[in-house]
Chains A and B, each alone.
Chain A
């Protein structure tokens, strides 16, 4: 356990040492503020509520479709194909930890990254609400919290797919291009085959919306939660299977 923690902490440090990750986080914080300010400025023209109570959820919906998947892609590329390309994977392998621990440490770091991004977004948007005079009540806040937790699950499930895919690539650019194409294809696929809207983990980027609804059946939420969790397990296991057999 101590060894696993060391690997995990190291992955987190490496995450922080990468400049682009800091840029990612900074931009993630600035974007909602910029949006809130510019909407506020445009308010007389557009006539809409600049920062309404639903601002945290609206921003979340924007983030889960494009921004967080992009973050997942970048980070996955750094954690796997990039390490293969720069031959730094052996640095972790030669330490007294098993490959399972290395893999778990990387995945956990990725999950923490996603979580941190969501926490930042949630906090910043809620603060925007306070400044705009539309602070949320406790019940509304809980609703937002639930949605963010659900979004976290959906994003981790999506990252499992990308982690699995990344195992096949030895270069960052190859992985990035393929993964973006894959993601777009997964997003388009429900238009061609309606079953894909249920069976593709990429279709759950707006899943958090269901958790704030009053009319969605509880059984439905359970079955989709189980689906996402088992999809996580499946793709992480497949990813680990390939990772474990890597020769570096």
Chain B
């Protein structure tokens, strides 16, 4: 019998996220169970480690805000489901924080390999701190990779969700350091005629290629 081919890869932006079925702290879940909602799939190196614990408490702090944005959280590490359960119980008992989202027990690294979560220069066995933002059509829309030493910034993750949802809703882009309520960038014209017209369309323009406008806050 032919051995089953191991699926490995480093996803790229815009591709359909590889589907999987995995054991989690909330039962067996498939990526396709999240169709119709935004999903933040994130990995951490290991349970019962200090930086990861602070991150899980911080993810929990933004969970209600994420839910308002039709966004779910799904954690992952290569620990067992028993380890995850013991850790989240510890977080509740010792830190007073109840972790409300599921965590994948990726003991055989099947999901981690599909998503390129193991970076051997960092660790040959643990997943680095990855964040994959997956849209309701299961497309990978943004990726963040942080090293083992550095905890993630929840404000940036929330801002990224707001930026992507605003871009989708209003067909615009968002400038550096954008936050909800700030002006957004109108897509640059693609013909000389459009460039000429652009300056008469009532946008705030520095020049024909850099025009901004206001959009309602909250996508």
Q: Do A and B come from one complex?
A: no
**Taking beta carbons and an 8 Å cutoff, which residues of B are in contact with A?**
none
